Copies of this chain bind each other. A is one copy, B any other.
Amino acid sequence: MRPNTALRAWRAGKQTVGAWLAIPSSFSAEAMANAGYDWLCIDMQHGLIDYKDAVAMMTAISTTNTIPFVRVGWNDPSIIMKVLDAGAYGVVVPLVNNREEAERAVWAAKYPPLGGRSSGPARVSFYAGDGYQEHSNEETAVIVMIETKEGIENIDEILSVPGVDCAYIGPSDLAYALDMKPTGDNRDERHQQVCMELYEACKRHGVAPGMHTGGLEFTTKWLKAGFQMVTMGSDMNAMRAKVQSDLATVRGDTGVQPTIVEA
């Protein structure tokens, strides 16, 4: 079976950099997969991506060695099993609040006796190669998101659930949990302190700490802080940041005015 190089890196104490995929296109996914990230996460929660898109995008990622993850929309065994059957090497489960929910995520992602995943690998048997069902429990990453008040409070019980590989912070929802505005790359001290407390909890439990960011600055910041699964924005963020910046520069340098009035 093809190894999960991202998961193995975490287990070896190494850090990884990845990106979020929000554009429902196998072409942009393939471009991102050729950019040198360690992993990519297809976002079925907040992007416009549905299952069919995710399959096409996983196929595109599979033309490279970049590891494909999927963030599912909900902690729902049906979709967790379905994206794993389609080729995901890890699932990111949003809004995990307590031990029971963490166990539910693990249960869906692991074959018996560790969990209750139903037998029937489909596309993943092509991607993973021989021995998938024997070894997938070892190579499939379960990544729980910590981003709610309950999740923060119950962090130790969540991280002590066997099979949880990574605790990934969603800083924007975390801001809501801290009664702040939903800022993603957040400079607030209390926010950052909570992130570091979660980091410490991960270290206590031997779980890889993860962090979502909007791009370069915070990616660097949190990698330097030791986080192991750190996101550098998304396909969509990168595209928009670049075109807005460059267009402003071009209009500034040339004085060419817009011919449209924004609706």
Compute how far the CA of A56 lies from the CA of B27 in the bound complex, rounded to whole angstroms: 9
Contact segment of A64-72, A161-169, A197-205: A64-72
Closest B residue to A27 by beta carbon equals B48
For A260, the chain B residues whose CB sits under 8 A away are 5, 38, 64-67
For A85, the chain B residues whose CB sits under 8 A away are 46, 48
The answer to whether B118 and A46 have CB atoms under 8 Å apart is yes
Most buried by B among A30, A113, A243: A243
The answer to whether A25 and B22 have CB atoms under 8 Å apart is no
Compute how far the CA of A6 lies from the CA of B258 in the bound complex, rounded to whole angstroms: 10
The verdict on A196 contacting chain B, using a C-beta distance below 8 Å, is no
Closest B residue to A179 by beta carbon equals B113
If A27-B55, A48-B86 are given as contacts, then 14 extra A-B residue pairs at C-beta distance below 8 Å, sorted by A number, are A15-B256, A23-B27, A35-B240, A35-B243, A47-B122, A64-B260, A64-B263, A65-B261, A65-B262, A76-B78, A112-B179, A232-B247, A238-B242, A263-B263
Selected A-B contacts with CB under 8 Å, 30 pairs: A14-B259, A15-B256, A22-B122, A24-B52, A26-B55, A27-B48, A27-B123, A31-B126, A31-B239, A32-B243, A34-B126, A35-B243, A36-B251, A36-B262, A52-B53, A56-B56, A56-B59, A59-B63, A65-B263, A73-B82, A116-B148, A119-B170, A119-B173, A119-B176, A120-B172, A219-B250, A220-B254, A223-B250, A233-B243, A238-B238
